[in-house]
A and B are shown apart, each in its own frame.
Chain A
């Protein structure tokens, strides 16, 4: 429940800000000059704030849409990400946001129209191939829909902009907004999964695998393309059994024609973020796992990563065609060029 809303001066004139305030009529409003006054200062404790984050309403300026590294994607030629929201409703212990952001407050950029203008501009560039836009890098795309109205606002735009393809990345089971609309072929809702036993330990607030599966079923039935993201891959006791069980649960219930893509991502965090995550949760067994500093990142030791990834890849290919499987390629162990 949000009971304190910071807002940049002037932002309350925006209709979307008014809509958000209508959702929280009893919230205390605190003005600020710029959201970074509250969000950026050092000396904040992300884990403490995560217990009761406030909302910051702001206007995004400067660069709005950013290119994604070439090895991250789901088949598109050009890949971009944008962040209408910073931070996530859920509290996943492996999440890099807690190492990247100094604050756990939610920052909502209300000027969606500026993001849409930039997406439109990029899709109109004379380039071959599909342009993909990923909205779930710095937040969960769906989990806060009731507060943000993000999907509801973007669907009409995407319906008129078929060259733009959007991935909604989520762990939410609240797919009401999609169920209430006509399906669009250029919008893929991608659900992230870890085995249930891991989720219970590390994913605070995340709906169960079963309830997400039911949500997938509902939107697939409505004709929405869906994605499955096995990300991050986490080493654990009974790894093979747990991941095999997860795949057995996921794929038989997914109609082939609805499944757009499956991607496999390893656990990998920039070293500086990892240091902060470890400091926030010094008693977290995940961070005492078989990890190693590899290049500028912390990840599972190479042999473990290769073995676990190979196993999952092999198991996935028993269930889905190779054309639908994508893997984020990394070259963590490469030495920098002299």
Chain B
């Protein structure tokens, strides 16, 4: 007995120790990561105030330099404040931020999307209401409608730094080459498509695999059919209905495009990025996308850079949509955690951030500004961006894209049905029946 007990104890304790070390060694990271919670404005080195900030504009995103600059500028102006940034990939972030907000591990400040995306957070009381921190002066600086998608029950819960809208990017080289005028009406669009198709040019490059891309096109047609007021009321479940014949007409028109071969043949297999390739190689005549794509179509590797014209989606005669109504608006915003330790500081940073980023992004051609009198050097802005500004300066209304304005499960219903219809598994009538499940 004596002989065996001691070595045994030694072995048992060393084994346990090893296991414990291993596990704590791995879990040690967990403790520090947990400090991502919003209830800390812990003083770091030298009594600095810290704000944790999560966003999606890390390296590789067109916004990243502008964002980093604005944050650095703020820290220079306020040497006692440190902004701890963490960046995420766009798609993964959509899940991450939701789970963290609901689990109360969200940071002080975070980027999010407006409309139905952030509504659950606001409803659950996790977001700071910003009205108390916005003076009349602050509000006057904003472009009208800038906060539309971040206003819930009359209260402002987020600030925006940029607006975008979707429109038709037209390769004017190709249009001139084949003698096609830029389409202002549906009929002109159809005839343009026919001409391009016959000449071997992809009429409209799109991605069906990434459902939001083809969704944008459908929503453009729907907007022209139904008009902004009706569509907004329907999507926010505030008096509108999908039984309105406008939606059936829109669905039929989308299928008309699909059936006449307006899209690239591999649309269902490729991502949005891959759909941009023919556009940048001068093989596609039109590309319906958000205004942020101006950076891409004017990039160095784009064959016809600088020759793209941005036009609103063609109008449909007899329908309610106006040429001054656009899909889009202020979709990206910054929210503040309701549980943050220093709300005034957080609100101050967010105001600074959005105002300055608005100017930087406009200069870089990434977004349209949400703050008036953005002092920018217009000579340095790409012609396509100026085009967009020109096209939207008289905009009467913006309706956010459906996948942001609608809430979670409604988005799935809509996108699944759209997917099935495009693949000819559902008729347009059946598609509308599915939509009616969202808002009868």
Are both chains from one complex? no
Which A residues are within 8 Å of any B CB, using their own CB? none
Which B residues are within 8 Å of any A CB, using their own CB? none
